[in-house]
């Protein structure tokens, strides 16, 4: 849990080797062309993910750029009500893309059957705008980073797994407001908390991980966000955001049953700082078999409870903090 330094000016060196590490602050523009190799363009993946949470509702959206294809999804779920709306679509390259910037200058767009989505933060602006348009679900939200704690940036070397460089930026506790439309119903996301995940990498042919992403308030009233990963980039992207501080923690220890994902999960960190139980109340799942490309994607939405014990600080308790868990295993 040593203090983190700022990110390097680029994520790879002149020879294309990743400048691996865990950093506090925004990623530089991500350029991985120098380390893709002969077939690396097939493994070059990018995505953005957005989570919006109030005590009553949880809203998520993702745009994924696979190079040879694209996909997007969004959902709205609530404790006691389950999945209120869910949309998903596959698109074609060219119409959809995720850019090379995670912060200022962020640009991601998806156009596909029955769904259009975008996440944009112009250069010099402090806020992201998320737009989702579909017959079943529409979202128009602004996530302002001005008063948020710093992001966590991580650069990993995936060559031991058969991949290349990977870069990710996680932001938590952004101030968010927006409107969600379910058919003719209009719901407000006033004073929500927002989080973003930007990831770009030359990934192994088979990639698997488990993930926990949550944000809300502790029992004591402090704003809190947690990002845990088991597998993939591992410890490099694991951290707790507490009010204005970002504290790195050990690799995630995430225990859930993929055959019964709506049963409770156990979440923790290898260092022992995080010990949580996750109770799902809704499930977004996608299973695809396109021959050479296959995936199993499980993302339950639910409620977290438990404790966080960071060095030099009083323990904090979480009770009914909303977030998601994920179990992903993909051949791409």
Residue 272, pLDDT score = 97
pLDDT at 142 over 70: yes
Q: pLDDT tens, 198-237? A: 999 999 999 999 999 999 999 999 999 999 999 999 999 9
pLDDT value at residue 156 = 95
The residue-averaged pLDDT of 306-324 equals 96
287 or 289: whose pLDDT is higher?
Answer: 287
Q: Is 306 left (phi over 0), alpha (psi -120 to 50) or beta?
A: left
Phi-psi region of 142 (alpha: psi -120 to 50; beta: other; left: phi over 0): beta
> Is the separation of the CB atoms in 220 and 209 below 8 Å?
no
How sure is the predictor about 49, in pLDDT bands with cuts at 50, 70 and 90?
very high
pTM for the whole structure: 0.97
- Decide if pLDDT at 1 tops 60: no
User: Bigger pLDDT: 260 or 164?
Assistant: 260
Q: Residue ranges per domain, the chain? A: 39-331
Contact 288, 295 (CB under 8 A): yes
93 pLDDT more than 70:
yes
The answer on pLDDT for 291 being more than 60 is yes
What pLDDT is recorded for position 162?
Answer: 86
**Overall average pLDDT of the 54-61 stretch:** 96
Q: Say which CATH class 39-331 falls into.
A: mainly beta
Alpha carbon separation from 253 to 144, 199, 314 (Å, rounded): 31, 21, 22
Q: Would you state the structure tokens that stand for residue 97, as one six-digit string?
A: 């893309």
- Percent of the chain at pLDDT > 90 equals 86
Count CB-CB contacts under 10 A for residue 163. Answer: 22
Task: Report the pLDDT value the prediction gives residue 2, as an integer from 0 to 100.
Answer: 57
What per-residue confidence (pLDDT) applies to 33? 85
Q: Distance of CA 106 to CAs 60, 99, 177, Å? A: 18, 7, 19
The answer to whether 279 touches 264, Cβ cutoff 8 Å, is: yes
Q: What is the mean pLDDT of the chain?
A: 95
For residue 327, count other CB atoms closer than 10 A to its CB: 21
What is 96-119 written as a DSSP string? BEE-S-SSTTEEEEEEETTEEEEE
pLDDT band at 55 (very low <50, low <70, confident <90, very high): very high
Write out pLDDT tens, residues 120-137.
Answer: 999 999 999 999 999 999
User: In a 10 Å sphere around its CB, with 0-12 CB exposed, 13-18 middle and 19+ buried, how is residue 161 labelled?
Assistant: middle
On whether the CB atoms of residues 111 and 149 are closer than 8 A, the answer is no
Instruction: Grade residue 39 by pLDDT with cuts at 50, 70 and 90.
Output: low
């Amino acid at each position: 849990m040593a203090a983190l330094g700022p990110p390097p000016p680029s994520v790879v060196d002149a020879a294309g080797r990743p400048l691996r590490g865990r950093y506090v602050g925004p990623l530089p523009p991500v350029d991985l062309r120098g380390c893709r190799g002969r077939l690396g363009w097939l493994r070059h993946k990018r995505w953005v993910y957005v989570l919006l949470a109030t005590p009553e509702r949880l809203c998520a959206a993702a745009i994924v750029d696979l190079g040879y294809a694209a996909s997007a999804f969004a959902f709205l779920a609530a404790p006691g009500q389950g999945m209120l709306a869910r949309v998903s679509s596959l698109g074609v390259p060219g119409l959809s893309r995720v850019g090379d910037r995670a912060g200022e200058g962020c640009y991601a767009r998806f156009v596909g059957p029955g769904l259009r989505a975008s996440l944009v933060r112009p250069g010099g602006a402090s806020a992201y705008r998320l737009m989702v348009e579909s017959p079943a679900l529409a979202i128009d939200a602004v996530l302002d980073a001005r008063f948020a704690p710093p992001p966590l940036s991580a650069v990993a070397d995936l060559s031991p797994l058969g991949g290349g460089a990977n870069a990710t930026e996680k932001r938590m506790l952004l101030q968010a407001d927006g409107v969600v439309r379910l058919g003719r119903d209009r719901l407000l996301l006033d004073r929500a908390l927002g989080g973003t995940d930007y990831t770009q990498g030359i990934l192994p042919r088979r990639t698997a991980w488990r993930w926990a992403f949550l944000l809300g308030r502790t029992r004591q009233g402090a704003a809190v966000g947690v990002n845990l990963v088991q597998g993939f980039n591992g410890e490099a992207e694991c951290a707790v955001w507490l009010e204005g501080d970002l504290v790195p923690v050990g690799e995630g220890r995430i225990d859930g049953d993929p055959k019964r994902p709506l049963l409770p999960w156990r979440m923790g960190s290898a260092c022992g700082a995080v010990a949580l139980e996750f109770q799902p109340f809704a499930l977004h799942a996608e299973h695809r078999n396109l021959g050479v490309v296959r995936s199993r994607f499980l993302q339950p939405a639910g409620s977290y409870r438990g404790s966080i014990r960071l060095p030099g600080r009083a323990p904090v308790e979480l009770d009914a903090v909303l977030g998601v868990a994920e179990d992903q295993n993909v051949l791409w």
